[in-house]
Structure 1
Amino acid sequence: MINLFVVQKGRLAQEQVEDRNELLQHKPIWIDVIDPDDEELAWIKDTYGVVLPELEQLGDLEASARYFEGEDSHIHIRTDFLLDEETSSRNVRVAFVLTKDVLFSIHDEDLPAFRLVRMRARLRPGSVRNAKDVLMDLYATDAEYSADSIEEVYERLEDASKRVLADEVTDQAAADVLEIIARVEDLNGRIRRNVMDTRRAVSFLLRSQMLSPDQQDEARQVLRDIDSIENHTAFLSDKVNFLMDATVGFININQNKIIKLFSVVSVALMPPTLIASIYGMNFKVMPELDWAEGYPYAIVLMIVSAAIPLVYFRRKGWLK
């Protein structure tokens, strides 16, 4: 799918391209290509002379080859954008090709940052004037989206903290907390990776000296936002480790309680077991064999011998 964007009356207007002729009818500043087929890529090449990479090629480049200026003077950038969904989160690779007048982007699914940029550009006249403005807005919006995801991480960790610090933490509650922590740590790591990648891309644009003074100021602001986000992710990582250790500690405590209970019960049953072993022998010469009250005496003796250690252990608090 090819989405074409032109500036009309100071706003970004979107046109969905169905055939090659529609590309010739507009002068866009941004062409967003989502999950294209070979025919759509050929339209782009024939119309603008720009060769966009295939989706399978987006993840094959070395890290050092993801930001460069080609022989055609086009800026080529490969960068990750965060996609945080309710059930999962992931980083989606996006390829940008920035020419003199047009920004080309290609990715395999629509992204929240792209939707926000389109919406804001339609609602705020003059916010986007050229292709470089679009690119900087995409990176700024991605940083904002990462910050929003950080808030979600805080909320999830707050819920996990309440469960961990409850009066009694059962094994099931601890298992639920561990699941929350695992998901939060995964999301936090993806946020950190995303902003790190955004930092490298924005720094590359600053070094290229192709941005206007206003765009340079915006780029520096994005870098400051990223610094703040990275500090938050570092703090959240420490908190995740604390909650993980606390949860595992509670699980160990619960297991130790069970082991202690079995140990105490085993010790308490040793005297009656000894008594039962003695009176259960069947030697020919045993004075107790003809004792009429021997059986109830042995039963009472075993009960008393088990009760005395249990009472002692309870007073010591070993049965709690």
Structure 2
Amino acid sequence: MINVFTLEQGRLSGRALQDDELLADAPEREPVWVDLEAPTPQEKAWVARRFGLVIPDDIVDDDLEESARFYEEDNGELHIRSDFLIDDDETPRNVRVAFILHRRVLFSVHEEDLPVFRLLRLRARRIPALIEDAKDVLLKLYDADAEYSADALEGIYVALEKVSARVLKQEVSDQTASEVLAAVAREEDLNGRIRRNVMDTRRAVSFMMRSRMLNAEQFEEARQILRDIDSLDSHTAFLFDKINFLMDATVGFININQNKIIKIFSVASVALLPPTLIASIYGMNFRAMPELDWSLGYPFALALMAASVAAPFLYFRRKGWLR
């Protein structure tokens, strides 16, 4: 799918091209941003015919070398490949996006619809003079990406507060511990993806500043984006520490529950050792067997075995080891 965005009265206006429009050579107005989501060969052919830009098939592959992620062609064409976060409830992930700044038009290629792109489209339609050229579109995308990462961090704070209430304010059963570990693992994965996302955004914005493609106002905006990203580093570090604490606390409760089970077996084995010894002695083949020579032999043996079981349990109870 191709979305073509133009500037109309200071606002970004976009529409999706239909299949019959791909046969035409040009849209009605010169665009500032052409967004390609999972482009087909026909859509790539339209871009090549209309703008003279050939989009490779492996442009969003994850196995590209690091040196191929940020570079500038001899003709001034700028190539940037960045990862954008999708904070999905089921599977949070980072999606690779390829940007090409070609003849004052920004081309973006990605395989999935991204929340950051939707956020920018909504803002650009409502706020006049937010975007003036293609470089503004790229900067506003990175600005929205940093804000989206901050919102995702706030979501982690809320989720960890709920986990903390379950771990620290009630007795943790094995079922609760397993649910807590699953929730903590998800938040840890999301926190790591956010950290990776802001690191990649920092690199991309720094590359734009070094390439001297920005004017004075855009350069200052890029510096502000970097400051916003730097402010997120302390939050991700704190969340990592909090996640590790909750993980250790949950594992500690699991160990306590296991120790309770082991304690039961330990108490039972110690308590049953004396009657086992008595039964073994009475089962030996003596010349004068008590159960034959003494009429109270069997009752006495049974009473002695019961007393030998009760004595350790009374002692353990007095010590508080049965609680």
TM bracket, shorter-chain basis: over 0.9
1:213 aligns to 2:235 (yes or no):
no
Q: Which residue of 2 aligns with 1:299?
A: 302
Tell me how far 1:153 sits from its aligned partner: 0.7
1:78 aligns to 2:77 (yes or no):
no
1:166 aligns to 2:169 (yes or no):
yes
Tell me how far 1:22 sits from its aligned partner: 6.5
Aligned residues of 1:20 and 1:43 also touching (Cα < 8 A): yes
1:135 aligns to 2:135 (yes or no):
no
Q: Which residue of 2 aligns with 1:227?
A: 230
Tell me how far 1:125 sits from its aligned partner: 1.1
Once residues 158 and 124 of structure 2 are traced to their aligned partners in structure 1, the CA distance between those partners, rounded to angstroms, is 30
Task: Tell me the TM-score normalised to structure 2 length.
Answer: 0.95
Aligned residues of 1:52 and 1:97 also touching (Cα < 8 A): no
1:247 aligns to 2:232 (yes or no):
no
Aligned residues of 2:60 and 2:109 also touching (Cα < 8 A): no
1:119 aligns to 2:122 (yes or no):
yes
1:69 aligns to 2:72 (yes or no):
yes
Comparing 190-199 and 257-266, the one that deviates more: 257-266
User: Among residues 149, 152, 173, which one is paired with 1:149 in the alignment?
Assistant: 152
Once residues 209 and 315 of structure 1 are traced to their aligned partners in structure 2, the CA distance between those partners, rounded to angstroms, is 79
Q: Deviations over 1:258-299 (max 9, x none)?
A: 112211111111111111222233445323324332222222
Q: Which residue of 2 aligns with 1:274?
A: 277
Misfit runs of 4+, over 4 Å = none
Q: Which residue of 1 aligns with 2:6?
A: 6
Tell me how far 1:55 sits from its aligned partner: 5.0
1:287 aligns to 2:285 (yes or no):
no
Gaps of 5+ in 1: none
Task: Tell me the TM-score normalised to structure 1 length.
Answer: 0.96
Once residues 59 and 304 of structure 2 are traced to their aligned partners in structure 1, the CA distance between those partners, rounded to angstroms, is 80
Once residues 56 and 266 of structure 1 are traced to their aligned partners in structure 2, the CA distance between those partners, rounded to angstroms, is 67
SS in 2 for 1:269: helix
The alignment's C-alpha RMSD in Å is 1.4
Pairs within 5 Å for 1:81-120: 81-120=84-123
Aligned residues of 2:290 and 2:297 also touching (Cα < 8 A): no
Once residues 236 and 313 of structure 1 are traced to their aligned partners in structure 2, the CA distance between those partners, rounded to angstroms, is 43
Q: Which residue of 1 aligns with 2:16?
A: 16
Once residues 219 and 321 of structure 2 are traced to their aligned partners in structure 1, the CA distance between those partners, rounded to angstroms, is 68
Comparing 156-165 and 76-85, the one that deviates more: 156-165
1:46 aligns to 2:49 (yes or no):
yes
Q: Which residue of 2 aligns with 1:310?
A: 313
SS in 2 for 1:31: strand
SS in 2 for 1:6: strand
SS in 2 for 1:153: helix
Tell me how far 1:210 sits from its aligned partner: 1.0
**Matched residue pairs, number?**
320
The letter for the 2-side match of 1:12 is L
Q: Which residue of 1 aligns with 2:200?
A: 197
Once residues 220 and 249 of structure 1 are traced to their aligned partners in structure 2, the CA distance between those partners, rounded to angstroms, is 45
The letter for the 1-side match of 2:273 is M
Once residues 65 and 292 of structure 2 are traced to their aligned partners in structure 1, the CA distance between those partners, rounded to angstroms, is 89
Tell me how far 1:26 sits from its aligned partner: 2.5
Once residues 53 and 202 of structure 1 are traced to their aligned partners in structure 2, the CA distance between those partners, rounded to angstroms, is 24
Q: Which residue of 2 aligns with 1:27?
A: 30
Q: Residues 56 and 127 from structure 1, CA distance in 2 versus in 1: closer, same or farther, beyond 3 angstroms?
A: closer
The letter for the 2-side match of 1:181 is V
Once residues 142 and 262 of structure 2 are traced to their aligned partners in structure 1, the CA distance between those partners, rounded to angstroms, is 55
Comparing 206-215 and 49-58, the one that deviates more: 49-58
Comparing 89-98 and 55-64, the one that deviates more: 55-64
Identity %: 60
Once residues 131 and 226 of structure 2 are traced to their aligned partners in structure 1, the CA distance between those partners, rounded to angstroms, is 20
Aligned residues of 2:5 and 2:13 also touching (Cα < 8 A): yes
The letter for the 2-side match of 1:131 is A
